[in-house]
Amino acid sequence: MWVKNWCLSIFILLFSERTFAQVQLKLTLDTDGKTYKVYAKSGTSYTGTRALITTSQISIAVPHGVGNNRFIVENLTSGIPNMRWRLTDRVDAPVENPEKDYLFFNFINNQTPLILFDITAGQEILLFSFTRKGNCIGKANIVEENNDAFWPPNSLNTNIGINFSVVGALGNAYRGNYDAPPVLRVTADKVNPCAGTKVNFTIQTSVAVPNARFEWYIDNVLQASATGQTFSYDLPKKDFNYSFTASVKMVIEGTTDCDDYTTRSKAYLDVKGSPRLDWLEKVENCSTLPTNLKVSSSPNADLKWEKNGSVVGVNSETLQVTESGNYGITASLNGCEHSLKPLNIIASNQMSSFKVDAGKDTTVLEGDALILQGKSDLGVVFEWTPNTNMKNANTLNPTIYPTENTTYKLTAKDANGCPSEDEVAVEVLNKLLIPNAFTPNNDTENDTWVIRHVEQYPDCIVQVINRWGNTVYRSVSYPTPWDGRDSQGRLLEVGSYLYKIITSKKTYSGNVIILY
């Protein structure tokens, strides 16, 4: 009968009172470096059955370790007589927060008689204590609701929430932690952003942390270049809805190993897919009009064509262009937009008429530099191709160092971007290879003075002079190698003779010896 009356009293309390408590929790470490204590402190006093604590779960995050560094709970002791706290579960190094292990302590008030004691406002109540087996490798802390990286939704579907149900509070009276390590929170400037847009994230901390280090993660992947308290992320452009998690790790190095503190917080965002929009047919500037522009888009997307900022068509994937202008298109779906880069279309009859001249075909001696002689009246942008062995390929007069015969193309564009082209052929001439002796004795070996590559110089002049300054041999284009005879057909004497060879690119001189 007492039980029925007690339940009825609780029922009346639940529906007749609207008193909301603010119970906070605290975790401390004794000076022995091994004993941890969990305290509760209420902002409201409760007496009698109103002070009854029905159920509780307290989640504690501890540094993740293995071997002798693993955090093992021993000697779990309740601070209230007969109050039975239990370590009911743990999660080690979840992917969202791999530096932490999570310990879950529970109390259910189902004993006979029920555990009942008054709760005095502002007075600390020791709920339970325990000791740690293993080395101290960092600070432990009570989980901060909504600001912990492992907070649901998480990869293990684990509820790490904290519950401290008091009858007089009509349910969960937990309102946070006091004397806690710095609380970390990451927020986004958009709640339900569109794919392809930028999201800005900001870190907030409960107290100033000037010596903290920060690391940013997108879906648990480290963003190496992000180390500050703000981070901007360009959302991938996708045409379907997706979700992702942005998280940040804060590291504070303490004076001892037990003071080192690491915590993470996350922001979970649902992203709306942006409509798909791709060019199927498009034209560049300087086009023959009329012409068609055509796109492919997501089903049910609203399409808007614009010319110079004014709407010229809607909800059609094709637009006929009859006039010059700046044309763009935007697709809209579910509040998200996707625009293609506008096209600046110029009708061919409005193109600037200008000339470009790559210069006359020419020759260059191997190993020598040559300056190309490009010209253009209205061109403002220039490009030579190929640009191998070329200096300043975007000017009218680049310097080239060709190694083989090459045809170079000069492309010039006017202020409207309309192109004009011309080509120039450059022939690379080999240097002459001139022997310094030969033996015109009819033994079929080295009987003539063979000058290599001379055929590349059809206008060359070859002249041989004896020691008295008389010309004994002269030839234009050197069609036949010299056999050591003078203009009268007589074999010349053994000796050294001066030669001079004049080409369009270079004059060669030296001595050639006749031997028998």
* 93-102 per-position pLDDT tens digit: 999 999 999 9
CA–CA separation, 310 and 300 (whole Å): 23
Which pLDDT value is given to residue 353?
63
Separation of first and last alpha carbons in the chain: 144
Contact 185, 265 (CB under 8 A): yes
Q: What is the pTM of this model?
A: 0.60
Which pLDDT value is given to residue 349?
61
Domain 184-271 fold is Immunoglobulin-like (2.60.40)
Structure tokens at 366: 């191997």
Domain coordinates in residue numbering, the chain: 2-177, 184-271, 277-348, 356-429, 437-514
CA–CA separation, 146 and 267 (whole Å): 9
Q: Residue 22's closest CA among 164, 151, 188, 156?
A: 164
Where is 2: in which H helix or E strand?
helix 2-16
CATH of 437-514, one of 2.60.40, 1.10.533, 3.40.50, 1.10.10: 2.60.40
User: Which residue ranges in the chain fall short of pLDDT 70?
Assistant: 1-21, 349-353
CATH of 277-348, one of 2.60.40.10, 3.40.50.720, 3.90.1150.10, 3.40.1280.10: 2.60.40.10
How is the beta sheet containing 124-133 ordered, strand by strand? Answer: 72-78, 124-133, 35-42, 23-29, 174-177
CATH of 356-429, one of 2.60.40.10, 2.40.70.10, 1.10.10.60, 2.130.10.10: 2.60.40.10
- Say whether 184-271 and 2-177 share the same fold: yes
Architecture of domain 2-177: Sandwich (2.60)
Contacts of 443 (CB under 8 A, 6+ apart): none
Percent composition of the chain: helix, strand, coil (DSSP 3-state, to 5): 5, 45, 45
Which pLDDT value is given to residue 5?
37
